[in-house]
């Protein structure tokens, strides 16, 4: 049986976390005897090479909210055989035929089932709906739902989960939101992120040789461009100051490991193509932070997912505002302190840490500006042996939960009734109590005010996006109507009517 795997892969901008989750999904399915795999990708040729599987184009959706809703409706009509739904040249027809040749669909893990990335949510909804219309078994693994999910997006997410035979929520807030949106009968299970043990697997596979970066001698730092509502320059200055303080205290150099950047030709051991971009996204952020630091640092270019995961696992400590550096650090028992610039980051980052009993290591944006983030990093460094030991002890139990989830997932893909009562079980206890309570109290206080405000602002941004999308659509329809009217005015028929109008007035006068 051929299994199609939908991950957010093959994008023009390489994203380590998205690629890692799909790599992990491929590996876990192969461990369970599934060999006939097909990865749905933005770049099938690249994905064939990266994953060692068959690959085919996925179904990208437009950005404007009204357009993606309309396109989803047309795609579903096309899947029902309505040849008038879309032009014959539309990508959807080939996509439907691709899924027709499969026996099951796995939507690999991700954080894009929300209104912030609505076009990716609709892409997944379309894939699930088409697969079910074709009679395929469908499983959705390791997802963050929301936290911002508004208007028709909520209905689309509900339909997606209700059509899937099994859906995995990778943090507790997502679990509760999924149950609220789709109902308790939708087959929703609390699970871990798909790439939860990708870093250790990458180390074991030999993705670790870099003599310029000795093991345990550096702090792995990864910071994305999101800075919440903070001024960007102030944010960069504060990050540089925090990293300087940690580097001076620990005696370790800071090595910046990007997780998202454009250059892709160097990822698999080749030289960059002439003219390829050298820095953007995380790489640009890292350059801007390093330029403000007083302590020495090293900026690495984007690496492929396995190398990035392995390098993270070799660090003495991880400091990050991104999600998957946290996941890689937990797997390899590397002490980690994470900063969440906004609510979406906090749900994912704190959720990943809470799954391992270490939720207090996720701090909010205000903690960067009052010194709590740097204080927490120094405190964790001083207690690094206890923190690392706790993560190491926790790992075996989390790995058993992870393996059980993938066994359940594999059974569901073959049509067996999944164990919908499975989950993470009892969360780990015994996190080291020696950490200072000062920065923890301050961050707890920040959460009471910062997160509700961040959520309200996110909702306003999304509503603005929907309103702007409707405005663009209305403007386009107005321009089309004006164009049609002008074309009619320029037509021979209209010219003839204008010539006849005086004669009609004369005739009317005679009556």
Q: Residue 375: which domain range?
A: 208-395
* Percentage, residues of the chain above pLDDT 90: 75
pLDDT in tens, 10-68: 999 999 999 999 999 999 999 999 999 999 999 999 999 999 999 999 999 998 888 99
- At 488, list the tokens: 């009619």
**Tokens 């840490």 belong to which residue?**
353
**Of 347, 374, 395, the domain-final residue:** 395
| Whether residue 347 sits in one domain with residue 275 | yes
Q: What is the mean pLDDT of residues 101-117?
A: 96
Of residues 453 and 81, the one with the higher pLDDT is: 81
- 233 within some domain: yes
pLDDT band of residue 128 (cuts 50, 70, 90) is very high
- At 453, list the tokens: 């405000």
| Whether residue 279 sits in one domain with residue 321 | yes
| Whether residue 247 sits in one domain with residue 343 | yes
Hey, which of 111-120, 457-466, 471-480 has the most confident mean pLDDT?
111-120
Kindly tell me if the per-residue pLDDT of 472 is higher than 80.
no
How distant is the alpha carbon of residue 379 from its chain centre?
Answer: 30
Kindly tell me if the per-residue pLDDT of 276 is higher than 60.
no
Angle (CA) 124 199 321, round 5°: 70
- 369 within some domain: yes
- CB-count exposure of residue 437 (10 Å: 0-12, 13-18, 19+): exposed
pLDDT band of residue 206 (cuts 50, 70, 90) is confident
Give residue 20's pLDDT: 98
- 435 within some domain: no
Q: Cα-flanking dihedrals φ and ψ of residue 167, to 5°?
A: -130, 130
Kindly tell me if the per-residue pLDDT of 272 is higher than 90.
no
- 415 within some domain: no
Beta strands in 53-180 (DSSP E): 54-57, 104-107, 110-113, 137-145, 166-169
Angle (CA) 246 251 256, round 5°: 60
Give residue 208's pLDDT: 57
Give residue 396's pLDDT: 94
Give residue 204's pLDDT: 85
Of residues 350 and 204, the one with the higher pLDDT is: 350
From the list 126, 132, 133, the residue with the least C-alpha distance to 69 is 126
| Whether residue 213 sits in one domain with residue 165 | no
Q: Provide the number of structural domains found in the chain.
A: 3
Per the CB < 8 A criterion, the answer to whether 339 and 157 are in contact is no
Q: What is the mean pLDDT of residues 464-481?
A: 72
Per the CB < 8 A criterion, the answer to whether 199 and 309 are in contact is yes
Q: Which of 333-347, 394-408, 471-485 has the lowest mean pLDDT?
A: 471-485
Angle between helix 323-331 and helix 343-354 axes, rounded to 10 deg: 10
| Whether residue 287 sits in one domain with residue 221 | yes
Give residue 494's pLDDT: 66
pLDDT band of residue 211 (cuts 50, 70, 90) is low
- 410 within some domain: no
pLDDT band of residue 506 (cuts 50, 70, 90) is low
| Whether residue 462 sits in one domain with residue 323 | no
Task: For residue 336, give every residue at least 6 positions away whose Cβ sits within 8 Å of its Cβ, in sequence order, or none.
Answer: 317, 318, 319, 320, 325, 326, 329, 330, 353, 361, 380
**Of 190, 221, 256, the domain-final residue:** 190
pLDDT band of residue 497 (cuts 50, 70, 90) is low
Give residue 323's pLDDT: 98
| Whether residue 162 sits in one domain with residue 248 | no
| Whether residue 177 sits in one domain with residue 246 | no
Kindly tell me if the per-residue pLDDT of 268 is higher than 50.
no
Q: What is the mean pLDDT of residues 244-273?
A: 78
CATH of the domain at 224: 3.40.50.2000
Give residue 75's pLDDT: 98
- 431 within some domain: no
Separation CA 335–CA 381 (nearest Å): 8
Give residue 275's pLDDT: 35
Q: Which of 104-108, 124-128, 453-457 has the lowest mean pLDDT?
A: 453-457
Separation CA 122–CA 367 (nearest Å): 35
- 404 within some domain: no
CATH of the domain at 53: 3.40.50.11720
Give residue 484's pLDDT: 76
Separation CA 208–CA 213 (nearest Å): 10
Q: What is the mean pLDDT of residues 152-180?
A: 96
Per the CB < 8 A criterion, the answer to whether 194 and 141 are in contact is yes
Of residues 270 and 302, the one with the higher pLDDT is: 302
- CB-count exposure of residue 293 (10 Å: 0-12, 13-18, 19+): middle
Give residue 269's pLDDT: 46
Q: What is the mean pLDDT of residues 260-286?
A: 62
Kindly tell me if the per-residue pLDDT of 423 is higher than 90.
no
Q: What is the mean pLDDT of residues 224-247?
A: 97
Q: Which of 18-22, 90-94, 274-278 has the lowest mean pLDDT?
A: 274-278
| Whether residue 308 sits in one domain with residue 256 | yes
- 338's enclosing H/E stretch is strand 336-340
| Whether residue 371 sits in one domain with residue 227 | yes
Hey, which of 113-117, 328-332, 452-456 has the most confident mean pLDDT?
328-332
Separation CA 347–CA 328 (nearest Å): 17
Kindly tell me if the per-residue pLDDT of 322 is higher than 70.
yes
| Whether residue 477 sits in one domain with residue 366 | no
Give residue 273's pLDDT: 36
Give residue 510's pLDDT: 53
- 445 within some domain: no
Give residue 274's pLDDT: 33
| Whether residue 278 sits in one domain with residue 167 | no
**Of 375, 395, 415, the domain-final residue:** 395
pLDDT band of residue 270 (cuts 50, 70, 90) is very low
Q: Cα-flanking dihedrals φ and ψ of residue 86, to 5°?
A: -145, 155
Q: Which of 171-180, 186-195, 275-284 has the lowest mean pLDDT?
A: 275-284
Give residue 414's pLDDT: 96
């Amino acid at each position: 049986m051929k299994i199609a795997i939908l991950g957010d892969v093959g994008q023009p901008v390489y994203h380590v976390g998205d690629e890692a989750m799909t790599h992990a999904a491929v590996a876990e399915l192969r461990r369970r005897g599934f060999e006939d795999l097909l990865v749905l990708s933005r770049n099938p040729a690249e994905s064939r090479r990266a994953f060692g599987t068959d690959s085919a184009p996925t179904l990208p959706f437009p950005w404007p909210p009204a357009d993606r809703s309309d396109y989803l409706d047309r795609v579903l009509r096309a899947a029902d055989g309505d040849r008038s739904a879309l032009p014959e040249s539309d990508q959807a027809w080939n996509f439907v035929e691709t899924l027709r040749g499969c026996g099951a669909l796995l939507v690999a893990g991700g954080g894009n089932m929300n209104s912030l990335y609505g076009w990716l949510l609709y892409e997944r909804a379309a894939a699930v709906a088409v697969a079910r219309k074709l009679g395929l078994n469908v499983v959705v693994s390791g997802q963050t739902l929301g936290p911002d999910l508004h208007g028709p997006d909520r209905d689309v997410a509900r339909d997606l989960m209700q059509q899937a035979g099994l859906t995995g929520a990778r943090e507790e807030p997502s679990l509760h939101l999924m149950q609220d949106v789709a109902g308790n009968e939708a087959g929703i299970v609390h699970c871990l992120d798909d790439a939860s043990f990708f870093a250790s697997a990458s180390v074991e596979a030999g993705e670790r040789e870099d003599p310029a970066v000795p093991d345990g001698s550096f702090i792995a730092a990864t910071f994305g461009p999101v800075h919440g509502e903070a001024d960007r320059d102030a944010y960069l200055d504060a990050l540089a100051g925090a990293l300087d303080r940690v580097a001076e205290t620990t005696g370790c150099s800071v090595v910046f490991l990007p997780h998202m950047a454009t250059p892709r030709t160097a990822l698999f051991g080749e030289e960059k193509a002439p003219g390829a971009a050298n820095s953007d996204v995380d790489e640009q952020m890292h350059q801007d932070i390093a330029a403000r630091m007083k302590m020495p640092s090293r900026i690495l270019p984007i690496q492929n997912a396995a190398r990035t995961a392995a390098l993270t696992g070799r660090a003495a400590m991880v400091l990050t505002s991104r999600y998957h550096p946290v996941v890689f650090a937990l797997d390899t028992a590397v002490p980690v302190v994470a900063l969440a610039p906004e609510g979406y980051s906090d749900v994912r980052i704190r959720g990943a840490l809470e799954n391992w009993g270490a939720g207090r290591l996720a701090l909010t944006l205000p903690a960067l500006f009052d010194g709590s983030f740097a204080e927490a990093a120094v405190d964790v460094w001083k207690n690094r042996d206890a923190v690392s030991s706790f993560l190491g002890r926790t790992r075996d139990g989390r790995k058993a939960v992870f393996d059980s989830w993938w066994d359940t997932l594999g059974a569901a893909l073959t049509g067996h009734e999944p164990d919908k009562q499975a989950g993470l079980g009892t969360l780990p206890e015994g996190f080291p109590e020696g950490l200072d309570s000062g920065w923890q109290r301050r961050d707890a206080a920040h959460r009471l005010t910062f997160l509700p405000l961040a959520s309200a602002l996110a909702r306003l941004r999304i509503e603005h996006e929907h309103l702007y999308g409707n405005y663009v659509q209305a403007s386009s329809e107005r321009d089309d109507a004006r164009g049609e009217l002008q074309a009619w005015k320029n037509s021979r028929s209209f010219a003839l009517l204008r010539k006849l109008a005086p004669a009609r007035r004369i005739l009317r006068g005679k009556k």
